[in-house]
Amino acid sequence: MAVDSRSRTSRRTIVQMVVVGTLASIIGVLWGLYIDWFPVQGSTQARKIDDLWDLMIAFAVPVFVLVVTVVLFAVKEFRMRPGEENLDGPNIHGSTKLEIVWTTIPAVIIFILIGYAATILSDIEAAPANAAQELKVDVYGQQFAWTFKYTGADGKPINTTRLYLPEGQSVKFNVHSKDVIHDFWIPAMRMKIDAVPGVTTSYRITPIRVGSYPVVCAELCGLGHAVMRQTAYVMPPAKFNAWLASKSASAAAPAAGGGGSAAAAPAAIDAKAIFTKGNGESVACGSCHQLAAAGTPAGGIGPDLDKVLAGKDAAFIKTSIVDPQAEIAKGYPPNVMPPNFGQTLKPAEIDALVQYLVKSTRK
């Protein structure tokens, strides 16, 4: 094609661009809305946040298509042909009309998105009508586990590493950190906030679906970051209240027993299960430690217990579990093994675990 034929083809090119761009936008938007981007919607907040996402897709895909279409057609239409090597391009002056159009349209789009996002933000952060009924949970991040603190019926604190939540009730999390910056995230609930040392941050959710959902740390916080994963259990309110009541009652009992309860509950403790899965409150040892007897794999963050515990006595093992900082295994990092096994495991469970480790690593 010669230079002077361009003006004759330009109208046809524009029509082609509009047709291709419109089709690609329609397909792209439908596709974007069809894809299941996120886990199930576990909270009222999740629905609203996903609606915002859909609106962003509806605007972002056509903008992307517009840019790509113009670039591709420009390459096709204005590429250099043989014989044009020494030609200058046409001398173009500014176009006020174009400038106004391409400033106004993005500005309008941005104001629509800002307006909608601001409404959603104030919606999802709003306190419930009946603020007194809101459940408050303190969340503590610590390398490398979350601890959740409730207030029992008797006003005493209840600590657990499992997050229990009542369905249909607003919950406010006050998030703290005991060491470095963590980030408290339940993907199914969509909300997420940093746990910053010395600062209390917060957000609220209203769970809408009974079930169990992963709780993760979303801020790289050290070697054990990847294992900083727990579970949130959403249950019917009656069941939740029963759990809270049972915790308030039993929390007092072991304290009265004075910790010397190893003899009180002899059988029925499955030490291997505590090692591989945890007891429901505690983090699984096997996620960091290799142990042949438990079948846990090599390559964890912690030492291979078959090797390091050979010939070690029960007292050493017990101290290693309840006070990991007392002695740091050579070649391994400090502050990685969770320091809270003394709280998350019952004394009888610790003793059973120690016996299990002594037996399993004896040569």
Interface with ligand HEC (CB under 6 A): 144, 224, 227, 283, 285, 287-289, 301-303, 308-309, 317, 320-321, 324, 327-329, 332-334, 336-338, 341, 353
Identity of the residue, 207 or 324, whose beta carbon is nearer to ligand HEC in the bound complex: 324
Identity of the residue, 46 or 175, whose beta carbon is nearer to Cu ion in the bound complex: 175
CB of 234 to Cu ion, least distance (A): 22
Q: Nearest CA to 62 among 95, 20, 97?
A: 20
CB of 136 to ligand HEC, least distance (A): 28
What is the bridge-based pairing of β-strands 192-195 and 201-205?
A: unpaired
161 contact partners, CB below 8 Å, separation of at least 6: 145, 146, 147, 148, 230, 281, 282, 283, 340, 344
CB of 332 to ligand HEC, least distance (A): 3
- Among ligand HEC, Cu ion, none, residue 301 binds (CB under 5-8 Å by kind): ligand HEC
Instruction: Give how far the C-alpha of residue 234 lies from the chain's centroid of Cα atoms, to the nearest Å.
Output: 16
Residue of minimal Cβ distance to ligand HEC: 285
Identity of the residue, 42 or 303, whose beta carbon is nearer to ligand HEC in the bound complex: 303
Q: Nearest CA to 205 among 134, 147, 157?
A: 134
Identity of the residue, 29 or 305, whose beta carbon is nearer to ligand HEC in the bound complex: 305
Other Cβ atoms less than 10 A from the Cβ of 117: the count is 14
Whole-number Cα distances in Å, 281 to 56, 62, 164: 40, 48, 11
Residue 182 is a binding residue for Cu ion (CB under 5 A):
yes
Q: Nearest CA to 62 among 23, 90, 97?
A: 23
CB of 216 to Cu ion, least distance (A): 9
Q: Which of residues 212-231 bind Cu ion (CB under 5 A)?
A: 217, 221, 228
Are the CB atoms for 161 and 230 separated by under 8 Å?
yes
Q: Which two tokens stand for residue 311?
A: 């010939």
What is the rounded CA–CA span in Å between residue 71 and residue 303? 56
Identity of the residue, 243 or 341, whose beta carbon is nearer to Cu ion in the bound complex: 341
CB of 191 to Cu ion, least distance (A): 17
Identity of the residue, 55 or 218, whose beta carbon is nearer to Cu ion in the bound complex: 218
What is the rounded CA–CA span in Å between residue 152 and residue 16? 68
Q: Which of residues 227-286 bind Cu ion (CB under 5 A)?
A: 228
CB of 320 to ligand HEC, least distance (A): 3
Which residues contribute to the site for Cu ion (CB under 5 A)?
182, 217, 221, 228
